[in-house]
Structure 1
Amino acid sequence: MRKLGISVYPNHSNLADIKEYIKLASSYGFKRIFSCLLSVEGDKQTVVDEFTEMISFAKKYGMEVIVDVSPSVFNDLGISYDDLTFFKEIGADGIRLDLGFTGNEESIMTFNPQGLKIELNISNGTRYLENILSYQANAENLLGCHNFYPHRYTGLGYEHFIETSKQYKNKGIRTAAFVSSQKATIGPWPVSEGLCTLEMHREWPIAVQAKHLWATDVIDDVIIGNAFASEEELKALSTIDPYQLTLNVELVEDIPETEQKIVLEEFHFNRGDVSDYVIRSTQSRVNYSGVDFPVFNTPSIIERGDIIIESSLYERYAGELQLARLPMQNSGKSNVVGRVVESEMVLLDLIKPWQKFKFQTIPKN
């Protein structure tokens, strides 16, 4: 089951505010919390007290909590890789290794008697996972999670992101990546220019970031990297179907009832014999066979993102829904019935052969 998550930073935020945020996120179906021990200052007992209280509260709301660590944190807190009792004491469900050991240590950690998950840093792109598995690690206790990047222009490129994520997905290991709130300002480091994994996401609306990650089909869990996201953003993420790409659209005024039903109620999937120009959802022409589709809106140029339903002038194609990927000439027979909102145009390129998708209209203010 794909999950949504938030991030909280007890040493950078008021604990009462964190608790309210956890409670709010839980009400919108969020199930994961990321927190960071890398930037923690203070003695071991202070760390234990702060994190124990936060995690204990999170558990009351059904949240899984994973904390970010590195070998230096182990040294600072006097923890050994073969005794993870400390993390169990503070209530964590797992630890994320921002920087790792040599491979054998991680493999030993996967057999920890405390039952903690060991989450690996996906973003580096080395054979790190392969090395750990070569030491006969318990893969059932392994997770993968990308980095986030607070400095503008330092986030991952798309090709590297896909390549590194596939290393984990191909081994059946659960993956996670970060999206950035446009309202939040708190992270683990002084620099705060967003906390996303993919650089291309930095200025995108948060819901589009999440849709994009899930549409790649290489990410299971989507976590908001910075705190505190707005309630509006939490709500927007909670309405997304993690398994079926949903595109927000604006329909033309006075769209006929049948055409509107085809857009919003038909089960859409892209044909396997794909076109560069259009995504074709053809079942509607079968379901509405014999129905008259008069010409009513045929602009001379069909633009990228336009939703088309073929008129009866096309006979065999009448009632077929198409989604334009490239601009093209209109024969005068194709009705444009709506358009994907501008912020989601990038998602068109992720619709693969046979992929299922749907449309929803955005509420008008």
Structure 2
Amino acid sequence: MLGFSYYLNDPINPKAQMYFQQMADHGFEEVFSSLHIPEDDPQVKTKRMQQLMQLAENDGLSVVVDVNKDSLKYLPHNLTAKLTLRLDDGFSPEDIRDISQEMPIALNASTINKNLYSQLHEYQVDFSRIEAWHNFYPRPETGLGIDWFAKRNRWLKSLGFKTQAFIPGDQHLRGPLKLGLPTLESQRNKNPLANTIQLLELGTDKVFIGDPGFSSSMQHKFKQYFVQHCLVLDYQAFDETVLSELPDILHNRLDPALDVIRIVEVRQRQVSNIPAQNNVKRSIGTITVDNELYGRYMGELQIVKTDLPADEKVNVIGSITKSDQSLLQYVGAGQKIFLNKLSGGNDGSI
């Protein structure tokens, strides 16, 4: 399940309305906000929270709101959209039991321990109504390490919790630092789709964008991957001769190679003679075609997943953008691929 964030220091206006609708249209199902961020003006919290809930209801989105005991008073009454409360530290086991009987809740994944779990079990809490949410970390160098995160996820899931984590956005990063809001430090400033796939492979059930902005191009890539099951890869070409003759949707072979992605469709067509040229070193993301020196392999199209040396039998004809190169490790057997050509001067970095 995918979610995004929108904070109450930003106005609820037509621009916000359009953003909510776009995210819902591109496969996102929940929106996260907070009622106790220090920068927010207390006078507008309740009004904007009510407006946010209405927007979410209009687009069929569920809402998760971060609260502490002091900020609960800003929660509007007569809410209609589906609401989950993410409880900050300070709530007792009795509080957790009582609130979870009224609505689903999320607890801090880092502070759940055996003692708390035992107490909740004694209170006969319904654990299907409780999720374990990791924090995001605005300050660089403070995010979680992968090994600790994976171990914690495995333990929480063994207790029956669904787990959640944040990735940074790629547009309109949240202040005051504006350096991204990741759970994992290694994901700061990295490709959001690659980050999401990695979190899912680490046993995370829900992935939310921590920052309040997400570009339309990245929305499209998420929908293509999670709804259409097609991985969009941006590229720049030096030679379009082979690429221009291919269908829009390509596939990796069902027997995936270790070092390269082998495109199935090129083996299904007749190719004219391909002379050897531009036989340079093949770095990660390089798009290549086998030339006449490779005999029956002439015309085979590949995308390189690891640095390889130059080969006189292999022509370099293009390159996947730097930002999308981190996606190549997730191209599995039979994966659908769409190669999206970019105009010159844009390397796809975020």
TM-score of the superposed pair, with normalisation by structure 2: 0.74
| Residue of structure 1 equivalent to 2:302 | 322
**CA separation in 2, counterparts of 1:101 and 1:163?**
25
2:261 is matched with 280
Where does residue 217 of structure 2 map in the other structure? 236
Root-mean-square deviation (CA), in Å? 4.0
Deviation at 1:66, TM superposition (A): 1.0
What SS does the aligned partner of 1:217 have? helix
Residue 22, structure 1, aligned to residue 16, structure 2: yes
The residue aligned with 1:351 is 330
User: What code does the residue aligned with 1:250 have?
Assistant: Q
Pair 1:74 & 2:55 matched: no
Which of the residues 168, 188, 191 maps onto 1:179? 168
Identity among equivalent positions (%) equals: 22
Q: What does the per-residue CA deviation read over 1:23-68, in whole Å, with 9 as the maximum and x for residues that have no partner? A: 1212313343211123369999975444234323432333321111
Aligned residue in 2 for 1:145: 133
2:77 equivalent to 1:93: no
Match in the other structure for 1:118: 105
Shift of 1:332: 1.4
Tell me, in whole angstroms, the C-alpha distance in 2 between the residues paired with 1:283 and 1:43.
Answer: 56
SS of equivalent residue, structure 1 residue 266 = strand
Structure 1, residues 268-314: CA drift from partner, whole Å, max 9, x if none?
Answer: 25735x52xx13336336533x6456235442322221122333543
Q: Name which of 268, 274, 281 aligns with 2:252.
A: 268
Counterpart for residue 142 of structure 2: 154
Residue type of the alignment partner of 1:121: N
Q: Residues 50 and 138 from structure 1, CA distance in 2 versus in 1: closer, same or farther, beyond 3 angstroms?
A: same
- Which AA in structure 1 matches 2:89? L
Q: Is the 8 Å Cα contact of residues 107 and 137 (structure 1) preserved in structure 2?
A: yes
2:239 alignment partner, one of 253, 267, 278: 253
Q: Aligned partners of 1:283 and 1:75: how far apart in 2?
A: 59
Aligned partners of 1:127, 1:279: CA distance in 2, in Å?
Answer: 45
Cα deviation 1:124-182 (Å, max 9, x = unaligned): 58569976885665344333433111222212233334444455567583634232344
Distance in 1 between the 2:135 and 2:324 partners? Answer: 24
Aligned match of 1:200:
186
**Alpha carbons 1:7, 1:33 under 8 Å: kept:** yes
Q: 1:101 to 1:159 in 2, by over 3 A?
A: same
C-alpha separation in 2, matches of 1:196 and 1:319: 42
- Which amino acid letter does the alignment assign opposite residue 147 of structure 2? E
Residues 127 and 247 of structure 1: CA distance in aligned 2, closer, same or farther (over 3 Å): farther
- The question of whether the paired residues in 1 share the 8 Å contact of 2:290 and 2:313 is answered with yes
2:210 to 209, 222, 225: 225
- Cα gap change, 1:352 to 1:107, in 2 (>3 Å): farther
Does the 8 A contact of 1:271 with 1:282 survive in 2?
Answer: no
- SS of the aligned residue for 1:344 comes to helix
For 1:280, what is the secondary structure of its paired residue?
strand
Q: Secondary structure at the match of 2:56?
A: helix
Aligned counterparts of 2:220 and 2:83: Cα–Cα separation in 1? 26
What is the CA–CA distance in structure 2 between the aligned matches of 1:166 and 1:284, rounded to whole Å? 39
* Structure 1: stretches of 5+ with no match in the other structure: 80-85
Q: How does 1:5-84 map to 2 (within 5 A)?
A: 5-9=4-8, 12-13=9-10, 17-30=11-24, 31-39=29-37, 48-69=46-67, 73-74=68-69, 77=72
Distance 2:117 2:288 in 1: 47
TM-score, scaled relative to structure 1: 0.72
Alignment-mate amino acid for residue 216 of structure 2: K
Distance in 1 (CA, whole Å) between partners of 2:78 and 2:272 is: 68
Q: 1:250 to 1:167 in 2, by over 3 A?
A: farther
Compared with structure 1, are the counterparts of its residues 95 and 130 closer, same or farther at alpha carbon in structure 2 (3 Å cutoff)?
Answer: same
The separation in 1 between residues aligned to 2:233 and 2:116, in whole angstroms, is 35
